[in-house]
Structure 1
Amino acid sequence: MFRHALPFLGVFGFVLLAGCGNGEPEQLSTRPVMVVQPQPASEAFESYPGEVHARYEPELAFRIAGKVTERMVEAGERVSKDQPLAKLDPQDVRLQLEGMRAQVAAAEANLRVARAEHERYKTLMDRQLVSRSQFDSSENAYRSAQARLQQARAEFDVANNQVGYAILRATHEGVVAQRRVEVGQVVGAGQTAFVLAADGEREVAINLPEQALERYSVGQPVSVEIWSQPGKTYAGHIRELSPAADAQSRTYSARVAFDDAEVPAELGQSALVSIRSNGEVPLAVPLSAVTAEQGNAYVWRVREDATLERVVVQTGAFGESSVPILKGLHADDWIVLAGVQMLHENQAVRAVDRDNRPVVLAAQE
């Protein structure tokens, strides 16, 4: 008998459940969501560390090869223009100078003989005692002797200059930034001996990553902060951008010049250069607000009727905490901050801010 009552109880229970539902479809509950508005994109500025250098940093080198016999300055010392920095052993160049002096004397003696011979043949030619060809030969010998003397004097001047090249002098007033030679070292012509930081303009040397190079160009404005002067920024611009990457670091060197020539920046100080990317990047949203599907980035925007819509956006370079939005949003939009994977289109929501206070949408005002 008990087994016959089970079907009846099941039907009775189904009728009770149906009566409780009143025949109406179940409504989805309003979901609370935390929302924010897009803010000015701080990540539109990218910062790179750098070091203060002189605008002009010539690499000083001997113009001849030789052995260093004396070094007069150290790195970090101030020098004046034409001040001696180092000397080479002058013995070889002095011997060359003496050889050239002897050649000049021989050329002068040869010229005197050729001149006298030419004058004699000219007199005999006037008396028609020698042939024309003999006179022409004497004239050619005279002109050759003149040319040989001119050549010997030029070679003597070169040898005399090389004696002076044995002393390396500063080309500008400034500070010796680097020293690369020692006493007793044999150097070649053109081998860098010192790097001089000339007085005058200062600039900042930075390295740009390969993937960011296309966003920057020569003349682009920047702001510079010197780490020893916190809170102060100086206007500048990219003065120089290397066309080739460093073989080891794969970065591109750049030089940033200050717009004001009187910036109190000392050699070797650390600096931070902030560069605004080319193009407009007006707004940014937190990283947690952006999701992606099928290669498209999108955010959830709250409509005026408190429902959601999925908006496809174009993003810029991701920052540490936010994402620049190139297209798709306005400054007065309300964007869901977190939990975006649990939302769906047209879902009714209750918008609250970071302090859990209700957000008044335009249609609710």
Structure 2
Amino acid sequence: MKLTGVAASLAVAALCTACGREPEPAHEEIRPVRSIVVGETSGSVGATYSGEVQARHESKLGFQTSGKVVARLVDVGAHVKRGQPLMRLDPAQESLHVVTAVADVEAARSRVAQDRVDVQRTEQLLARAFASQAELDQQRLALAQSQAKLKAALAQQQITLNQRGYTELVADRDGLVTAVGAEAGQVVSAGQAVVTVAVDGDREVLVSIPESRVDELRRAKVLQVSVWARPDKRYDGELRELAPDTDSVTRTYSARIAVKNADSALMLGMTASVFTPDVDGRSAIRLPLGAIYNQDGRPQVWVIDAKTSQVALRAVQLGSAQNDSVLVSGGLAGGETVVTAGVHMLHAGQKVKAPGASTTLAQGSHP
């Protein structure tokens, strides 16, 4: 019984000692995070569109008459001059038409000559009272009709001569042959495109624009063009044409960007890129998409206090986005540090460690 009392006394003493001791403070974890020091940039994330270099003007040439092709005089890729023959049709049929037209003209001339003689003879007979005025009027009417038929025959002869000239297809302007649609022995119809010529001179890039970027392209102050074969060279561009409707398959708008300082290095068919580095010129901040924390449908970011290293949520206003970047048009100021990774693992007031915080670019660069 004595041992039991002693044990109880020791337990009571231990409890009293524990009650008098202060609890140890909980250790707060300092979470390492990735961050950037934001800076202002132009009001655009920039956009790059891939396209193809094309000629400003392209002629699809065809014969003005039908017939059988007997000669193809150019190949794809050949450079042609204005007036140079490109293709010929068999002229035999047209030559027969010319012979017929010449014969019709001669027959009409003979008829006019005969009617003129008849009028003169009737006038002489009328002077001697051997013919009536009605007969003379009839002869004069016949002469007028034969003269009109002669004019029609001459016009038809000229048309036939032109048709024979149409059996040779010639280039209307200097340029490069980009397509040939007929071969020797093939029968073609009038107006059928058989040779395509890309005219020398102006060059442009055909690109497809998503509907969300159409307004930005219209407002773009600067357009830069580059080609995959010459990434070190840049050309100035200008929006020349924008389709009023979308393509039925891709649901994009076709745009043609005129290249202002095109040279011989800009060849037809090259893969080109059109870059819009500046759209509206407003001041904005560029952030990675991973820095945006959506809470109740509101975009926010974690901002690190430079003195206490604690994070706090800040509501922001977002602008346009492209790929993995987004513009913040309001809620942040240049020079602030923003968490870019692990935003869902933080809570307000938490201390963080951001070693080597990077700095965003002050101006957009070509991707």
Counterpart mapping for 1:254-273 below 5 A: 254-262=255-263, 264-273=265-274
Instruction: Say yes or no: does 1:213 pair with 2:214.
Output: yes
Q: Which residue of 2 aligns with 1:322?
A: 325
When the two chains are superposed, the root-mean-square deviation of aligned CA atoms in Å is 3.8
Q: Given that residues 50 and 207 in structure 2 are in contact (C-alpha distance below 8 angstroms), is that contact kept between their aligned partners in structure 1?
A: yes
Q: Given that residues 37 and 285 in structure 1 are in contact (C-alpha distance below 8 angstroms), is that contact kept between their aligned partners in structure 2?
A: no
Q: Alpha-carbon deviations, 1:4-42, whole Å to 9, x = none?
A: x99xx89x97995696359x9x89776654431335479
Give the 3 Å change call, closer, same or farther, for CA 297–309 of structure 1 in structure 2.
closer
1:162 Cα deviation after fit: 0.9
How far, CA to CA, are the matches of 2:329 and 2:190 in structure 1? 55
More displaced stretch, 107-116 vs 130-139? 130-139
Q: Alpha-carbon deviations, 1:272-306, whole Å to 9, x = none?
A: 22124643464310121013244433322345765
1:116 Cα deviation after fit: 3.5
Q: Given that residues 43 and 281 in structure 2 are in contact (C-alpha distance below 8 angstroms), is that contact kept between their aligned partners in structure 1?
A: no
More displaced stretch, 179-188 vs 36-45? 36-45
Q: Alpha-carbon deviations, 1:202-245, whole Å to 9, x = none?
A: 33333334553343239863111222223221211122233344
Corresponding letter in the other structure for 1:313: Q
Counterpart mapping for 1:3-22 below 5 A: 16=18, 20-21=22-23
Query: What percentage of aligned pairs have identical amino acids?
Result: 32
Q: Which residue of 1 aligns with 2:199?
A: 198
Q: Which residue of 2 aligns with 1:337?
A: 340
Q: Which residue of 2 aligns with 1:36?
A: 36
Q: Which residue of 1 aligns with 2:354?
A: 352
Q: Alpha-carbon deviations, 1:87-146, whole Å to 9, x = none?
A: 111222222222222222222222223333444555667788766665554444333333
Q: Which residue of 2 aligns with 1:284?
A: 286
More displaced stretch, 132-141 vs 259-268? 132-141
**TM-score, normalization: structure 1?**
0.79
How far, CA to CA, are the matches of 1:325 and 1:277 in structure 2? 15
Counterpart mapping for 1:92-171 below 5 A: 92-120=93-121, 135-171=136-172
Runs of at least 5 residues in structure 2 that lack an aligned partner in the other structure: 359-367
2:315 aligned residue (311, 317, 321): 311
User: Between Structure 1 and Structure 2, how many residues are aligned?
Assistant: 347
How far, CA to CA, are the matches of 1:103 and 1:219 in structure 2? 66
Q: Given that residues 66 and 188 in structure 2 are in contact (C-alpha distance below 8 angstroms), is that contact kept between their aligned partners in structure 1?
A: yes
**TM-score, normalization: structure 2?**
0.78
How far, CA to CA, are the matches of 1:264 and 1:118 in structure 2? 75
1:164 Cα deviation after fit: 0.8
SS in 1 for 2:153: helix
More displaced stretch, 76-85 vs 136-145? 136-145
How far, CA to CA, are the matches of 2:46 and 2:220 in structure 1? 16
Q: Given that residues 220 and 279 in structure 2 are in contact (C-alpha distance below 8 angstroms), is that contact kept between their aligned partners in structure 1?
A: no
Instruction: Say yes or no: does 1:242 pair with 2:246.
Output: no
1:66 Cα deviation after fit: 1.4
How far, CA to CA, are the matches of 1:326 and 1:97 in structure 2? 77
1:65 Cα deviation after fit: 1.5
Q: Given that residues 81 and 171 in structure 1 are in contact (C-alpha distance below 8 angstroms), is that contact kept between their aligned partners in structure 2?
A: yes
Runs of at least 5 residues in structure 1 that lack an aligned partner in the other structure: 357-365
Q: Which residue of 2 aligns with 1:360?
A: none
How far, CA to CA, are the matches of 1:17 and 1:226 in structure 2? 79
Q: Which residue of 2 aligns with 1:184?
A: 185
Corresponding letter in the other structure for 1:253: S
Q: Given that residues 222 and 236 in structure 1 are in contact (C-alpha distance below 8 angstroms), is that contact kept between their aligned partners in structure 2?
A: yes
Give the 3 Å change call, closer, same or farther, for CA 31–248 of structure 1 in structure 2.
closer
